[in-house]
Amino acid sequence: MVQRADRELLLRGFDRLSPRSRYLRFLSPKEGLSEAELDDLLTLDGNDRFALGAQMLQPGGGEGEGLGIARFARLPDTPAVAEAAVTVTDETQGKGLGTLLLARLAAAARERGIERFVCEFDAANERIWHLVLQLGPRVEVLDHGFVRVEVPLPTVGAGPGPRAARPSAPSRSRRRPRPRASAGRKKVRA
């Protein structure tokens, strides 16, 4: 489980992400994490805000650099739903680590009473399409070339749900997405 003490490890992992990977994770160009963003990412209570990570093991069993992180944040107005995010370092992408992290995250969420994940991503992000479509999500195509999916979580111990057909990607708009926070509601970022 990720803890506040993992601050430097998280920063080093972020530094190893390519500009494209950073964009795909945060849906905007990102050169670095502000102190406020870092604090938000590390404010975890193990129940409503939860994160787990994967690290390289060094010879002799010591911990090495981070390889990936998966997190969820329960939606305050819908306690059975959480916003989820998975990020793995560029050199680790395409090797199954994202799938493993998502499966472990889903199991942890179910143990905490969460029934569904929601997430928004760039429609051009092929790797996340592959990852979430294994779970049979409900897909909503948004403006600006973004997609919102709602993924029912399998019961603890069950495998992934049925595969869903992928809708065609929408044409890209030049407008930037608006912030996703609603008036009167604190923004939740997984």
CA distance 90 to 105: 20
pLDDT of residue 144: 75
Percent of the chain surpassing pLDDT 90: 33
Is pLDDT above 70 for 154?
yes
Residue 187, classified by CB atoms within 10 Å of its CB into exposed (0-12), middle (13-18) or buried (19+), is exposed
Is pLDDT above 50 for 33?
yes
Beta-carbon neighbour count of residue 150 at 10 Å? 14
Pairwise pLDDT comparison (20 vs 135), residue with the higher score? 20
pLDDT of residue 45: 95
Residues 98-118, mean pLDDT to the nearest whole number:
93
Q: Which amino acid is at 119?
A: C
Q: Which domains does the chain have, with CATH numbers?
A: 4-152 (3.40.630.30)
Is pLDDT above 50 for 170?
no
Q: What is the pTM of this model?
A: 0.75
- Selection from 61, 34, 53 nearest residue 92 by Cα: 53
DSSP state of 115: -
pLDDT of residue 177: 34
pLDDT of residue 180: 34
Q: Which residues pair with 68 in a beta bridge?
A: 54, 88
- Beta-carbon contacts of 104 under 8 Å, excluding residues fewer than 6 positions away, are 52, 70
pLDDT of residue 28: 86
CA distance 158 to 76: 27
Which element (helix H / strand E) includes 50? strand 49-57
CA distance 131 to 9: 25
The answer to whether 23 touches 31, Cβ cutoff 8 Å, is no
pLDDT of residue 44: 95
Quick: pLDDT tens for 53-97. 998 887 877 778 889 999 999 999 999 999 999 999 999 988 999
Is pLDDT above 90 for 136?
no
Measured in degrees and rounded to the nearest 5, phi and psi for residue 36 equal: -65, -40
Confidence of residue 172 (pLDDT cuts 50, 70, 90): very low
Torsion of CA 128, 138, 181, 104, to 10 degrees: -50
Is pLDDT above 80 for 158?
no
Q: What is the CA radius of gyration of the chain?
A: 16
